[in-house]
Structure 1
Amino acid sequence: MSHAFVNLKPGVGKTTSAVWLAHALHESGIQPLLVDSDPASSALRWSELAGGFPFPVIALPVGDVHRRVNDFLGNRQAVVFDAPQLEDHAHIARSIMRYASEWIVPVTPAPIELDRMAPINSEMGDVQSLRARPARAAVLLNRTNRPDATRTGPDADAREALTERGFDVLSTHIPRLDLYAQSFGSPIDVKGSAYMDLADELIKRQDTV
């Protein structure tokens, strides 16, 4: 299993999602490697401030990540990538996308975020042409406005719009909560969180490949 959180812009929740998902996989019994490929090293710094994570975190902010990751994998069953924004570090992000079997795009259900999906889709199409096997791509609705499901109400419009444009939108969504927004630098208690649901959904998606 290998999952990469990618987007054009910074500040969309890539690092938060990568850190929480890695914890959720660990809690699910799948031992992950968390790869921080953002030159800002936010995930690595988070692990240091939190006194360490229960899995390894490595920094690989380089343009040949896809060639180096397996040197650090060992017997780990999953890799989670915190990718830098494509607009500033395209060579690193594209290298990650060449390796990861699933690309996850965190998207806030707001019109400006939906408008950015066309260039993201173009980038994904370019990288697919470099791969021997196509990667799966999915949208994760992030910082949603309501704690319950986004099947109805304001966030359902974003889900519908993305689906109509051909995007695979994950059933799991991440609500706008201080629990996630203010968690940087703190130890993670992932039990009962939306990220446990995300891990479960991603594990089941792997079973359908």
Structure 2
Amino acid sequence: MNLKPGVGKTTSAVWLAHALHESGYSPLLVDGDPASSALRWSELADGFPFPVIALPVGDVHRRVNDFLGNRQAVVLDAPQMEDHPRIARSIMRYAGEWIVPVTPAPIELDRMAPILSEMDDVQSLRAEPARTAVLLNRTNRPDATRTGPDADAREALTEWGFVVLDTQIARLELYAQSFGSPVRAKGSAFMDLADELIKRQEEA
């Protein structure tokens, strides 16, 4: 989830779903964006090895379980909140883990205060609070460092009260140019992301 488009929401959702599949889970990928980018990606790639459904509606939280079956994980690709707040909020009401992909750049960090406000509003509608985390995306290095813009962004977000995932996604052509192509998550940072989220789920 994020306020705006173009921050890597769909790329992250598709790669994460593949990482979960390759980790032995059977995910369901829900495309909640009216642009249907995740669904279109699966069509261009001659299908994904797990189901992808389009649910760009304002009551996603009431409908997802109708498609769940025996799936062990659900990955939801939310649209940008600034254009589709009703759909995004509905997805947030369903999802137990909210991931905010953020590029470590000042203009992106400046948008985080309104996101925190949106989170607080939707948390009040839930029976149990969702876990929330920031995924540093399109970073300069694949791993966290002690200095540089990635480290500065991580420090600032932590000071503002965000949980920042240990995993970060480097700025790589492998991810940037992957739309429409088959995905092989093994060996990628998204396998680390899947592992980290699974551990968070187990701890919860």
TM-score normalised to the size of structure 2?
Answer: 0.99
SS at 2:137's partner residue?
A: strand
RMSD (Å) for aligned C-alpha atoms: 0.7
Letter of the aligned partner of 1:61 in structure 2?
A: P
Aligned residue number for residue 56 of structure 1: 51
Letter of the aligned partner of 2:181 in structure 1?
A: S
Unaligned runs of 5+ in 2: none
Identity, % of aligned positions:
87
**Residues 34-183 of structure 1 aligned to structure 2 (within 5 Å):** 34-183=29-178
Query: Take 2:118 and 2:49, find their aligned partners in 1: how far apart are those partners?
Result: 33
**1:126-148 Cα distance to aligned partner (Å, 9 max, x none):** 00000000000000000001233
Aligned residue number for residue 32 of structure 1: 27
Query: Take 1:82 and 1:121, find their aligned partners in 2: how far apart are those partners?
Result: 19
1:36, 1:57 within 8 Å by CA — same for their partners in 2? yes
1:150, 1:173 within 8 Å by CA — same for their partners in 2? no
1:38, 1:84 within 8 Å by CA — same for their partners in 2? yes
Q: Which runs of 4+ in 1 moved over 2 A?
A: 147-154
1:30, 1:77 within 8 Å by CA — same for their partners in 2? yes
SS at 2:74's partner residue?
A: strand
The 1:39–1:117 alpha-carbon spacing in structure 2 relative to 1, beyond 3 Å, is: same
Unaligned runs of 5+ in 1: 1-5
SS at 2:180's partner residue?
A: coil
2:30, 2:75 within 8 Å by CA — same for their partners in 1? yes
Query: Take 2:71 and 2:143, find their aligned partners in 1: how far apart are those partners?
Result: 33
**1:126-173 Cα distance to aligned partner (Å, 9 max, x none):** 000000000000000000012332343321000000000110000000
SS at 1:147's partner residue?
A: coil
